[in-house]
Structure 1
Amino acid sequence: MAQAMKIAIIDDEQDMRQSISQWLALSGFDTETFPSAEHALKELGPDYPGVVVSDIKMPGMDGMQFLKKLMSVDSSLPVIMITGHGDVPMAVEAMRVGAFDFLEKPFNPDSMTKLAKKATQKRRLTLDSRALRRELSDGSGMMRKLIGSSPVMERLREDILDLGQADGHVLIDGETGTGKTLAAHALHAVGSRAGKSFVVYSCAGQEEDVLTRTLFGPIEDGSSRLPLVEVARGGTLVLEDIEALSQSLQARLLTWINDQGTPPETRMIAICNLQEQGRTCENALRPDLYYRLAALKITLPPLRARGEDILTLFTRLSEQFSEEYGCDTPEISAQEAAQLLQAPWPGNIRQLINVAERAVLQNRRGSGSIASLLMADNEESEPVMTTEGKPLKEHVEAFERMLIDNTMRRHKGSIVKVMDELCLPRRTLNEKMAKYSLQRADYV
């Protein structure tokens, strides 16, 4: 959910700050007022979730001093300065120091609203980018969301790290529900544009004229919104369902890509989400656009190819839903674990999320089974097993790893409690944890 944007209004004249506050509140903003710069500085930290509107001429600390203080605290904080008649040179100097823009009294309230919208849009992008940077501060934040230790997931993470450092545009494809948008997010987060704008837009179900205006402008609804190519300028533009673009719009997109130069000012990540059998990104896109994008390509693996990751994901999801619904996490048997591993998962991770939630709900009622949920998800009511059988040893090991992993997390890494619950001597537990690459430090 997007963070609510605030507007801090600083003016020594009570009538002025109240009138600005009332107008912006009517325009849908969350406002707070301060009678002086000194009062405001106590509340405006480096991650203030909004923008600042300040008068220039105030007793005590004036607007210019206040602006310089704010820029030293957070140089990306948008500050709109209000100046009296004849103080335009001072306002221009404020812009040089770092102000977002200025308004000269008397100003049209609509002009204030438009400026506030632009400033809050910029602030939201900045805060979103900072949140990504914080996630990556230990080098694994965003990548940790790509859960799984299967060979295909290890390879996916390596591909993302490699392509994230490149400058070229990227094409991501794969079956529906495999996490293509998450992969795009990770690509942006590990690259040089991590601190810049990240814009995601789905091209599906939109009329061509709407798509054209939304992507390239002009925006004709009277709002101050910018076309997406401008919003994403310098960062990353992610277009989901790119196959939905018409041939003419694909041609315009290609022109925009070619105009970016090398390296491109704005990186584009195209997500192809074809579901029809026999159709591929290559035959859905213009050849010139496809080959322009597919020089750097990532294909997301289907869930059925991820082996034990299925049990890991199911366990994590079950715990999340159990916490949400305030009930116990369902315990699954070895047979149910095998059923999860062998299911075809046509809906991939999205389907797994659905099954995990329903498993928690039916466990709360004390009825149902994993098999019934898998059968309910199979439209043709065919057996849930895949055509590829696995040796019994693999199922046993996967179930054993899941049990140890679940028990370690439930007891927050307490070896004694895990030994007691699983009736294992310490040496055996240590050997099995080493075998399955489980580290006690990950659970403490």
Structure 2
Amino acid sequence: MKPPVVLLVEDEDELRRSTAQSLDLAGFTVQDSASAERALDFITQGFNGVVISDIRMPGMDGMSLLGRIREIDADIPVILFTGHGDVQLAVRAMREGAYDFVEKPFATQHLVEMAARAIDRRKLVLENRELRAVAGKRDDIEARLPGRSQIMVDLRYKLRAVAATDADVLVIGDTGTGKEVAARALHDISGRATRPFVAINCAALPATLIESELFGHEAGAFPGALRPRYGKFEHARGGTVLLDEIGSMPADLQAKLLRVIQERVITRLGSNEAIPLDVRFIATSKADLDAEAGAGRFRADLLYRLNVVTLRMPNLATRREDVPLLFLQLVREAAARYRRDDVEVPAQIVADVARRDWPGNVRELRNAADRFVLGLGLQQAAEAETNGAAEKLADRVAEFEKKAISAALLAHGGSLKPVYETLGISRKTLYEKMQRYGLDKNRIGGIEGSDG
């Protein structure tokens, strides 16, 4: 295992340099970053070290960084710098999982001692994980991509086999199926795990800065380029580049990316010097890239380069047997994240979750688990567990009412007057029930109705 790292995140150049120097003199290996977004590239579930970050920064602030780090690995210690008057914010950060905080201005020795304690704690966490793995308990990949269905067992087998190679990978799947989770897992169990994981959202790249963001530039390459800057590809050297939703990448950039993947070199804007690039590319897409290539919207030659190996992420509809256990695991994770005591999930809630469709897949299911832990969702199912048969009867009555009104609307061509007269209810009651059940007189059986 490589020596532990102090990842220092501070946007003020002078404070960042002086703090990094002090930590270095104290014997720590320091990696510093001026932005939280760049710091995240170094965070993996196997990160060996501590993160020290300012709370108030432009772009992603320290609280958001804390949240993202806890999503990747809740056991990574995060120490936050706070300014005068930010103590309440620091207390909130502690409740949300921060290891500790230090108020500016701070004594260097105090920070050094705090960082040393945090690194010792992280070392114990990693050693315990290794011991559990040796003891044959459930491995990390199963924890990240859980499921007992055969399709998930096969996916984990393929992922482990591919991770041991340097092959470029294409991950296909619907929204919310865990494409980025799979990509991070590929990186974290590969030989590149200690190097950066750089995620690039191809749909959000600013058109005017695309080349500079990816390839970097030399001073004077364009107006405003006052100093050299290396791009995301160069930043990821030795590690992994995730091209998220690559189908959204502009056509002209696809051609340049093809050259990078073929030759493994880049050239900064304003330079003629080719820079060798040692990275692994993982691309994700929710679109069928074969169809996109056939329609001329995606380069076929780029697709052939990217899909050396293709992993397909199954949606929940194809593995419904996994939904109950997956929901229970997500509830446990949410309870730990929000520092709630163990939350008991009633059987009726589990049954309700299993019956529902989840078009947003694991992401939607995770949001439902979060709401349940916070007491904000799945209330009808909870009341059903409490009220028993009476609540179930109410559900049946509501379903009967909806079908009866739909049938009457269809029979009378969408005209409302004969409907409420036939059903023996008032016009106002009919309107209220139609609104409650989401019924539209103009869409019943594809008819055009009138108020008649």
Taking structure 1 as the reference length, the TM-score comes to: 0.51
Would you say 1:346 and 2:349 are equivalent positions?
no
The alpha-carbon deviation at position 294 of structure 1 amounts to: 1.6
Mark the CA change 1:193 to 1:31 in structure 2 (over 3 Å): closer, same or farther: closer
Mark the CA change 1:24 to 1:301 in structure 2 (over 3 Å): closer, same or farther: same
**Amino acid paired to 1:248:** D
Would you say 1:329 and 2:343 are equivalent positions?
yes
The alpha-carbon deviation at position 179 of structure 1 amounts to: 0.9
**Amino acid paired to 1:210:** L
Partner residue in 2 for 1:195: 194
Mark the CA change 1:291 to 1:367 in structure 2 (over 3 Å): closer, same or farther: closer
Retained in 2: the 8 A contact 1:304–1:341?
no
Would you say 1:356 and 2:345 are equivalent positions?
no
The alpha-carbon deviation at position 152 of structure 1 amounts to: 1.4
Partner residue in 1 for 2:27: 44
Secondary structure at 1:208 match in 2: coil
The alpha-carbon deviation at position 206 of structure 1 amounts to: 2.5
Secondary structure at 2:258 match in 1: helix
The alpha-carbon deviation at position 224 of structure 1 amounts to: 5.7
Query: What are the superposed Cα offsets for residues 12-43 of structure 1, whole Å, 9 maximum, x if unpaired?
Result: xxxxxxxxxx9721x68645649xx9xx4xx4
The alpha-carbon deviation at position 290 of structure 1 amounts to: 0.8
Mark the CA change 1:23 to 1:241 in structure 2 (over 3 Å): closer, same or farther: closer
Which residues in structure 2 correspond to 1:205-224 (within 5 Å)?
A: 205-218=204-217, 221-222=225-226
**Amino acid paired to 1:291:** Y
**Amino acid paired to 2:140:** G
Write the distance in 2 (CA, Å) between the matches of 1:241 and 1:226: 23
Write the distance in 1 (CA, Å) between the matches of 2:369 and 2:236: 36
Secondary structure at 2:213 match in 1: helix
Q: Structure 1 unaligned runs (5+)?
A: 8-21, 52-73, 75-126, 373-381, 383-444
Partner residue in 2 for 1:86: none
> How much is the aligned-residue C-alpha RMSD, in angstroms?
4.1
Write the distance in 1 (CA, Å) between the matches of 2:194 and 2:181: 17
**Amino acid paired to 2:261:** I
Write the distance in 1 (CA, Å) between the matches of 2:356 and 2:293: 27
Secondary structure at 2:375 match in 1: helix
Mark the CA change 1:279 to 1:368 in structure 2 (over 3 Å): closer, same or farther: farther
Retained in 1: the 8 A contact 2:217–2:229?
no
Partner residue in 1 for 2:322: 309
Would you say 1:178 and 2:177 are equivalent positions?
yes
Mark the CA change 1:50 to 1:215 in structure 2 (over 3 Å): closer, same or farther: closer
Retained in 2: the 8 A contact 1:3–1:49?
yes
Retained in 2: the 8 A contact 1:175–1:300?
yes
Secondary structure at 1:205 match in 2: coil
Write the distance in 1 (CA, Å) between the matches of 2:215 and 2:148: 41
Write the distance in 1 (CA, Å) between the matches of 2:238 and 2:191: 10
Write the distance in 1 (CA, Å) between the matches of 2:204 and 2:379: 40
Retained in 2: the 8 A contact 1:161–1:187?
yes
Mark the CA change 1:223 to 1:135 in structure 2 (over 3 Å): closer, same or farther: farther
Identity value in percent: 29
Mark the CA change 1:31 to 1:250 in structure 2 (over 3 Å): closer, same or farther: closer
Partner residue in 1 for 2:381: 369
Match of 1:24 among 3, 7, 14: 14
Retained in 2: the 8 A contact 1:235–1:265?
yes
Partner residue in 2 for 1:245: 249
The alpha-carbon deviation at position 174 of structure 1 amounts to: 0.1
Would you say 1:269 and 2:252 are equivalent positions?
no
Partner residue in 2 for 1:229: 233
Query: What are the superposed Cα offsets for residues 51-98 of structure 1, whole Å, 9 maximum, x if unpaired?
Result: 7xxxxxxxxxxxxxxxxxxxxxx9xxxxxxxxxxxxxxxxxxxxxxxx
**Amino acid paired to 2:283:** A
Would you say 1:165 and 2:179 are equivalent positions?
no
Retained in 2: the 8 A contact 1:160–1:187?
yes
Mark the CA change 1:330 to 1:144 in structure 2 (over 3 Å): closer, same or farther: closer
Retained in 2: the 8 A contact 1:176–1:274?
no
Which residues in structure 2 correspond to 1:98-117 (within 5 Å)?
A: none
Secondary structure at 1:362 match in 2: coil
Which residues in structure 2 correspond to 1:411-430 (within 5 Å)?
A: none
The alpha-carbon deviation at position 188 of structure 1 amounts to: 1.6
The alpha-carbon deviation at position 255 of structure 1 amounts to: 0.7
Taking structure 2 as the reference length, the TM-score comes to: 0.51
Aligned length: 269
Mark the CA change 1:151 to 1:211 in structure 2 (over 3 Å): closer, same or farther: same
Write the distance in 2 (CA, Å) between the matches of 1:152 and 1:370: 31
**Amino acid paired to 1:232:** A
Mark the CA change 1:315 to 1:281 in structure 2 (over 3 Å): closer, same or farther: farther
Retained in 1: the 8 A contact 2:237–2:277?
no
Retained in 1: the 8 A contact 2:202–2:249?
yes
Retained in 1: the 8 A contact 2:234–2:277?
no
Mark the CA change 1:3 to 1:298 in structure 2 (over 3 Å): closer, same or farther: farther
The alpha-carbon deviation at position 329 of structure 1 amounts to: 1.4
Secondary structure at 2:165 match in 1: coil
The alpha-carbon deviation at position 212 of structure 1 amounts to: 1.7
Secondary structure at 1:148 match in 2: coil
Retained in 1: the 8 A contact 2:372–2:378?
no
Write the distance in 1 (CA, Å) between the matches of 2:242 and 2:30: 25
Q: Structure 2 unaligned runs (5+)?
A: 33-47, 49-118, 219-223, 266-275, 385-398, 400-452
